[in-house]
Amino acid sequence: MNPATSADAPAPRPGGPPELPPQVALLQLVTAGFAAQAAHVAARLGLADQIAAGVRDTLALAAALGAHPPTLRRFLATLASIGVLRQDGEDHWALTGMGQFLRGDVAGSWRDFARWFGCEAHYAAFGALEHSVLTGESGFARTFGESSWSYMARDRATGLCFDRAMSSKAAASHALILDRYDFSGIDLLADVGGGQGELLCAILARHPAMRGVVFDLPHVVEAAGPRIAAHGLGARLEAVGGDFFAAVPPADAYILTNVLHDWDDARATAILGNCRAAMRPDGRVLIVDFVLRPVNEPDIGRLFDLEMLVLTEGGKERTEADFASVLAAAGLRLDRLVPLGGLSLIEARAA
């Protein structure tokens, strides 16, 4: 029997549309990668930026992008069907609310994140997911013969794509961090694995008496100087390159945003232990990451757990109990969780 016939159609849910028949829902799940790759291509082309700038009919967009007009029209129609665009007139296109976040010039943009998820290295590594599931080994290492970290340090085009993606991902949580966590009482805050310092720039702008240190690999923080200067924070914010497995700079408090999920428990404990050793006795460690929900609940963090499986060597998303365990091993205790939308901020202090 056809699962989509009216006799089999489920009743509407109270206050919402009817649930899809399970076969149709599974088909949508299986083909979700098509939509993800379409979003990636739109991000790569800068399509949303072109439309925002006023280039909105198919022929003009094709000329601006160097695309084949009939094929581009099919692609635009597909983006409209998944909610990124809407047709506005016979052959004109406009951005939806979702599509606005594929622009590069809006706060909270996901354009660079979409570019990373569909880039060649990431796409190829995820093709080895079966190997990772069967062996527990990194799909990236299986595909490229080296870790993702060494590959991106050597191939700077891929590394830059990753750095920009992580910056955009972090930026999406910055406003929530600033609004929902009280940083008062911190004189010197170190952002461990802090990239180019965007989060610290935002925190220091709101707390004019605070000083900061952004700490990351030397080739990452070398780009932080101009950004710090542009924010007028050269006297209060220092960029320091180093290895957080060896040591971290002294500070009153530490914040680690999307850092610990890259590492297994032993290496996560080593990073946290270095923070514990360097901070003052009444200091604190702040961790921004997914905190996994119970297994049967919908949780995007579970999908990012597969991302960690494929791209890292032992990295993973963690439950609250997992975080409490690695914190305890580093001489810290989990004090509280602050919800940040999909992410959480974990506050820890000396045990």
Q: Which residues are catalytic?
A: 261
The distance in angstroms from the start CA to the end CA of the chain is: 62
Q: What one-character-per-residue DSSP string does 223-292 give?
A: THHHHHHHTT-TTTEEEEE--TTT----EEEEEEES-GGGS-HHHHHHHHHHHHHHEEEEEEEEEEE-BP
Residue 151 to residue 153: CA distance in whole angstroms: 5
| Type of residue at 188 | L
Distance between CA atoms of residues 306 and 209, nearest Å = 41
CB contact at 8 A, 347 and 282: no
CA distances from 288 to 18, 165, 215, 246, 274 (A): 36, 16, 16, 21, 17
The sign of the torsion formed by the CA atoms of 90, 95, 96, 98 equals positive
Q: In what order do the strands lie in the sheet with 332-340?
A: 237-241, 211-216, 188-192, 251-257, 279-289, 343-350, 332-340
Question: CA–CA distance from 13 to each of 16, 22, 236, 254 (Å)?
Answer: 5, 15, 55, 46
Residue 294 backbone zone (phi > 0: left; psi -120 to 50: alpha; other: beta): beta
